């Protein structure tokens, strides 16, 4: 199963918190740091109706969650398995 992708930035406290919580729950995820990889900003904006909101988590099934809880991410990821 393809892990969810989190659009993030190092300065984003909500992003840091979510990454730590997902690690504790052993939920795999990939991180796209939008400051280091600005070429991904159009995809982030598309997922959020033109806004650059982070953390945004995109799942393999196309579902997008903005500033989700770790439990929401874990539940949706498990449901895809």
- Could you please report the per-residue DSSP string of 31-50? EEETTT-GGGHHHHHHHTTT
Q: What does the radius of gyration of the chain's CA atoms come to, in whole angstroms?
A: 12
Which DSSP helix (H) or strand (E) runs through 13? helix 13-24
26-56 confidence digits (pLDDT tens): 999 999 999 999 999 999 999 999 999 999 9
Residue 74 has pLDDT above 90, yes or no: yes
pLDDT of residue 81: 77
Q: Which domains does the chain have, with CATH numbers?
A: 5-80 (3.40.30.10)
């Amino acid at each position: 199963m393809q892990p969810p992708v989190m659009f993030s930035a190092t300065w984003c406290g909500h992003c840091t918190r979510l990454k730590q919580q997902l690690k504790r729950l052993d939920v795999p995820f990939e991180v796209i740091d939008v400051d280091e990889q600005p070429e991904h900003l159009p995809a982030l904006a598309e997922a959020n109706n033109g806004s650059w909101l982070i953390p945004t988590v995109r799942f393999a099934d196309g579902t997008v969650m903005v500033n989700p809880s770790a439990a929401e991410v874990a539940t949706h990821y498990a449901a895809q398995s």
